[in-house]
Amino acid sequence: MALCVMPKGALPTLIDKLLETQKVVGPKRVPRGPDSSQFGFGEIKTPDELELDCPYTILPPKHWLLPRDEKLFTFKLGPQPEVTPVIEAEPTVFFGVHPPDIAGIACLDEAMADRNPDPNYLIRRDQITIVGTEISPEEYRYAKFLGNDVPAAGYDLFLTDIGDAYVCDVATDKGQAIVDLVETRPATADDIAAVEAVRQKTMAEAEDILDVNVRLLPLTMTKAADSGVWKTHAEPCFRCGSCNLVCPTCYCFNVTDVVEPNLTAGARVRTWDGCMLDPFATVAGGESFREEARQRLLHRVSRKFHYQYTKYGHPHCTGCGRCVRTCVAGINQFDAINDLLAEQAEGVPHGR
């Protein structure tokens, strides 16, 4: 819609005014021990809690849209059973979302609105305003490959730090309502050049991870099922599911009915699940149709770069890099893809 410039000194006032009317969620420090901390998306109570300079967060903002444990409805048993839907939603601003996570939310929007629309997610999503900020070099090396180094859409407002101010890219009426809370000025050609300089600097500090046209990956994956690459890369897997839990586009879940001890009432609860976990593909009788770690890794990578790509027209991996950073076994799905590409190009097995 428009570009404007907000002085950095106006940010605390902006956050305070937002807090008067809605919840604000953004990157904040999470204590990890006596002398260290990480960053996570948490509720911001005061402006000084917001850490817009953080390189990345442990988890994406997904858990504010799709909670880890979510009560779907409550029920009462008896001659006339009662079922009461539970949908918890309130106006919330996601402040400081990087481009890979903006893309991740867009992927969830597609999946949750498709075929059997998910009312809990969609009602909550309608209450969300997204304020994005620039990517860090640590994320860039993965996100560039997926085209998520620079935001294309999916945000209401996007801020670029140019030193003493933020260049504000206003994309929606929600975004305009936010910048209207403080004094701004129109952006100039110099401001736009400063934005480009910021992005060029990030590019210069980052490394490339894959040298392939991402559009070729669905075809690559159709010929990948019998490759030894999967066994080689999955061998150290502990089957902990960390890669699933930190992924901004994973949305698989399990559903459990929790009944009160008196057997007259209860609730249906949705809980995150993950395809890399042992029980995920286990069916009645204790059989599993993906017993081996190599089968699960193949499924996970195919899900991101083949199945969802074919269905929606783009990968359902956003290049945030969390799965790589989080894996305690050091498994890197991009290394597996590189080996697969080399194997198919050379006609020589790269696994066992």
Q: Are residues 157 and 95 in the same domain?
A: yes
Domain assignment of residue 266, yes or no: no
d(CA 41, CA 50): 10
In a domain, 264, yes or no: no
Residue 284 and residue 232 share a domain: yes
Tell me the C-alpha distance between 185 and 3, whole Å: 9
The residue whose two tokens read 């990157």 is 27
Q: Assess if residue 23 is contained within a domain.
A: yes
Per-residue confidence in pLDDT tens, the chain, 352 aa: 789 999 999 999 999 999 999 999 999 998 876 666 789 999 999 999 999 999 999 999 999 999 999 999 999 998 999 999 999 999 999 999 999 999 999 999 999 999 899 999 999 999 999 999 999 888 887 888 888 999 889 999 999 999 999 999 999 999 999 999 999 999 999 999 999 999 998 888 777 666 667 888 898 898 888 999 999 999 999 999 999 999 999 999 999 999 999 999 999 999 999 999 988 989 888 899 899 999 999 999 999 999 999 999 999 999 999 999 999 999 999 899 989 988 888 776 665 5
Q: Are residues 222 and 151 in the same domain?
A: no
Q: Give the number of C-alpha atoms closer than 13 A to the C-alpha of residue 46, restricted to the C-beta side.
A: 3
Q: ∠271-275-281 over CA atoms, to 5°?
A: 95
The per-residue pLDDT for 139 is 85
Neighbours of 118 (CB within 10 A): 19
In 3D, which of 334, 104, 351, 324 has the Cα closest to residue 212?
A: 334
Phi, then psi, of 342 in degrees rounded to 5: -65, -40
Is 118 inside any structural domain?
A: yes
Cα separation, 96 vs 106, whole angstroms: 16
C-alpha 12: how far from its chain's center? 26
CA pair distance 74, 260, nearest whole angstrom: 11
Asked whether residue 153 falls in the same domain as residue 239, the answer is: no
Q: What is the pLDDT of residues 243-291, one digit of tens each?
A: 999 999 999 999 999 999 999 999 999 999 999 998 898 988 889 989 9
**Pairing verdict, β 265-272 and 69-76:** antiparallel
**Structural domain includes residue 228:** yes
Please report the pLDDT score of residue 233 as a whole number: 94
> What is the rounded CA–CA span in Å between residue 166 and residue 187?
10
Q: How far apart are the first and last CA of the chain?
A: 53
Nearest to 41 by CA among 30, 53, 55: 30
Same domain, 175 and 241: no
Which pLDDT score, from 0 to 100, does residue 350 have?
Answer: 62
User: Could you please report the per-residue DSSP string of 160-219?
Assistant: EE-SSEEEEEE-SHHHHHHHTTS--EE--HHHHHHHHHHHHHHHHH------S-GGGHHH
List, in sequence order, the alpha helices (H) in the chain. 11-19, 62-65, 99-113, 119-126, 137-146, 173-179, 189-205, 217-222, 229-234, 242-246, 293-302, 308-312, 322-326, 333-346
Same domain for 192 and 316?
no
Exposure string of 141-154, with b = 16+ CB inside 10 Å and e = fewer, is bbbbbbebbbbeeb
pLDDT at 213: 75
Among 147, 179, 205, where does a domain finish? Answer: 205
Same domain? For 12 and 58 the reply is yes
Number of domains in the chain: 2
- What's the pLDDT at 151? 87
DSSP state of 134: P
Task: State whether 159 and 231 are in the same domain.
Answer: no
- 200 and 163 within one domain: yes
Statement to judge: residues 185 and 228 lie in one domain: no
Place of tokens 């080399």: 342
Q: Which domain, by its residues, includes 34?
A: 2-66+89-205
- Which CA distances in Å does 85 have to 74, 109, 182? 7, 21, 39
Mean pLDDT of the chain: 92
* Residue that finishes a domain, picked among 205, 224, 258: 205
162 and 57 fall within a common domain: yes
Position 17 in a domain: yes
pTM reported for the whole predicted model: 0.93
Report yes or no on 130 lying in a domain.
yes
290 shares a domain with 176: no
Q: What is the SS3 assignment for 244? A: helix
Secondary-structure percent of the chain, ordered helix, strand, coil, rounded to 5: 40, 20, 40
Which among 73, 61, 57, 176 has a CA at the least distance from the CA of 128? Answer: 61
How far, in Å, CA of 107 to CA of 9, rounded? 34
Within its chain, how far is the Cα of 190 from the centroid? 33
In a domain, 199, yes or no: yes
